[in-house]
Amino acid sequence: MSHSRLPHEPDPEPTESLEDLVKDHRLLAAQQWLGTHQPHVIADALARMNAVDAGVAFRLLDKDRALAAFEELEPVNQQQILEGLRDRAFLDLVENMEPDDRVRMLNEAPAKVAKRVLAGLSPNERRMTSALLGYPEGSVGRYMTPEVVALPQNLTVEQALRTVRAKGADAETVYTLPVVDSGRRLTGIVELRELVLNPPDMMMSELVVTEPTSAYATASAERAARLMRETNDLNLPVVDSEDRLVGLFTIDDAVEVIEAADSEDVARQAGAAPWAGHYMAASVWQLARYRALWLMLLLVAATLTIGVTQAFEATLEQVAQLALFIPMLIGAGGNAGAQAATACVRALAVGEVRGSDLLKVIWRECRVGLVLGSLLAALGLLVGSLFVSLKIAVVVGITLVLICGWAATIGGTMPLLAKRLRIDPAVVSAPMVTTLVDATGLIIYFLTAKAVLGV
């Protein structure tokens, strides 16, 4: 059944997977599977398979479903499929893609594939594609659709609808209609809804929103997408530096941009490089590669903790029991720092906090950390006194207050500082804060111990 309805209960597990059918060489059954599932389900199944199997399955699709499923794939997977296709099928596919989807694929394609794609396109499609590729990576220009129905000013509703009818067939959307002057400069937008609901002889100008929210083609696609989330606009008109209309940024692309940005932030917060492919399709080596660099950097940074512990070796030898609490204390500091860092990175991403809020954020995170530290100190005192003398338990308690205050301050400061220095705040990830807090937390711990215990 191609009928797909989101059921009451979560997680309907598929009975037999496309992957198994192809692996078992049951190609007829695979073809039947492909004929009865929706494009996004097919795309998900293809993305989970290795390149060879996915290529086999893809060639079993009829032409229309092939295009639909192909457009749902991530760029990484699209390339894998393309590389396995003969010329005829290859050309059909790339010619019929939407220009913005094509550009997204080319963004991440090796030069060889990109060249083959561009060479195979008809002149009109090639012109549009090259224009989009001219915008910087991550900009609105890369994601917008250039095929827009623009309306001249001074039409009646009926004339406007006639224009839409004449020119709308190729456009990705006709729901937001930019209005332009004779120099193609954006002067407003009108919603198709307004044209349909109002009398034909009404002047369109009465329905035009004259100062619409818009974006320069070079603006950040993520910021534009988050702006659309706030304004609830379906489409954002995109203009060049001379205010001339060049395209529309549509909501489906905005949703994709937001989800990709959130995935990237999530990966960075866990200390891994952002990764665009399908989790199940990545090989063990690929997954390891995306995580290795940060893990090694963090290990090197962690040698600071060795140095600090060595510097206080005398203290540790005198009071061996201090070693018992090292994992717990740096754990607590790390957690408090990660909470603050994550909250601030997220608040920056969704626009609740700006770079200029730095001092305010430092002041609030410092206080939050001290409040949390005091709570933990009470608990730590209790736990500590179960294992060691009250005096050492007091050291643990005081350390918790100081470490949490310090960790939350650092966690709140670093993302905003990064933002001010124009570094992606998410790069200042929770593990980086944690590692920094580990070493400094140990210093706090040993100094407190020396002061309280007089060693």
Q: Does 335 bind a copy of itself (CB under 8 A)?
A: yes
70/40 Cα distance (integer angstroms): 9
- According to CB under 8 A, which one of 145, 214, 399, 409 is a site residue for a copy of itself? 214
The least distance separating a copy of itself from the CB of residue 25, rounded to whole angstroms, comes to 21
Cβ closest to a copy of itself, residue 24 vs residue 252:
252
Q: Residue 247, interface with a copy of itself (CB under 8 A)?
A: no
Q: How far is the CB of 375 from a copy of itself (least distance, A)?
A: 6
What residues contact 93, with CB distance under 8 A and at least 6 apart?
A: 66, 67, 70, 82, 85
Shortest distance (Å) from residue 140 CB to a copy of itself:
7
Name the token pair of 300. Answer: 């090197």
Tell me the window of 22-30, 52-60, 117-125, 207-215 that interacts with a copy of itself (CB under 8 A): 207-215
What is the smallest separation between the CB atom of 137 and a copy of itself, expressed in angstroms?
Answer: 14
Q: Are 382 and 328 in contact (CB under 8 A)?
A: no
**172 DSSP assignment:** S
* Among the residue ranges 51-59, 84-92, 111-119, 208-216, the one whose residues contact a copy of itself (CB under 8 A): 208-216
Contacts of 322 (CB under 8 A, 6+ apart): 315, 316, 392, 395, 445, 446, 449
Instruction: Tell me the window of 80-88, 89-97, 124-132, 288-296 that interacts with a copy of itself (CB under 8 A).
Output: 288-296
Rounded to a whole number of angstroms, the minimum distance from the CB of residue 371 to a copy of itself is 4
Integer angstrom CA distances of residue 47 from 62, 76, 109, 222, 273: 18, 9, 16, 25, 20
Stretch that binds a copy of itself, among 7-15, 77-85, 111-119, 124-132 (CB under 8 A): 7-15
Q: What is the 3-state secondary structure (H, E, C) of 298-332?
A: HHHHHHHHHHHHHHCHHHHHHCHHHHHHHHHHHHH
Nearer to a copy of itself, 57 or 376 (CB): 376
From 339, 399, 440, 448, residue interacting with a copy of itself (rule: CB under 8 A): 339
User: What three-state secondary structure class fits 86?
Assistant: coil
- Estimate the crossing angle of helix 430-453 against helix 390-420, to 10 degrees: 150
Can you read off the two tokens belonging to residue 122? 């008809």
Find the shortest distance in angstroms from Cβ 227 to a copy of itself: 6
Asked if 375 and 447 touch (Cβ cutoff 8 Å), the reply is no
Residue from 62, 206, 387, 421 binding a copy of itself (CB under 8 A):
387
Verify binding: residue 220, a copy of itself, rule CB under 8 A.
yes
Q: What are the structure tokens assigned to 435, written together? A: 């590692």
Relative orientation angle of helices 75-83 and 51-59, to the nearest 10 degrees = 70
Q: x/- site string to a copy of itself, residues 8 to 27, per CB under 8 A? A: x-xx-x--------------
**Site for a copy of itself contains 184 (CB under 8 A):** no
169 near a copy of itself, judged by CB under 8 A? yes
State how far the Cα of 180 lies from the Cα of 150, in Å rounded to an integer. Answer: 7
DSSP codes joined into one string, 24-54:
TT-HHHHHHHHHTS-HHHHHHHHHTS-HHHH
Q: Within positions 94 to 113, which residues make up the interface with a copy of itself, using CB under 8 A?
A: none
Fill in the per-residue mask, 55 to 84: x = in contact with a copy of itself (CB under 8 A), - = not in contact: -----------------x------------
CB-wise, 113 or 190, nearer to a copy of itself? 190
CA dihedral 171, 175, 179, 183 (to 10 degrees): -20
Give the binding range for a copy of itself (CB under 8 A) out of 24-32, 55-63, 151-159, 305-313.
305-313
86 binds a copy of itself (CB under 8 A): no
Q: Which stretch binds a copy of itself (CB under 8 A): 20-28, 82-90, 110-118, 367-375?
A: 367-375
- Return the number of the residue (52 or 288) whose C-beta is nearest a copy of itself: 288
Stretch that binds a copy of itself, among 57-65, 77-85, 88-96, 323-331 (CB under 8 A): 323-331
Comparison of 121 and 177: residue with beta carbon closer to a copy of itself: 177
- Select from 62, 356, 390, 421 the one that contacts a copy of itself (CB under 8 A): 356
> Which residues neighbour 257 within 8 Å (Cβ) at sequence distance 6 or greater?
143, 221, 222, 224, 225
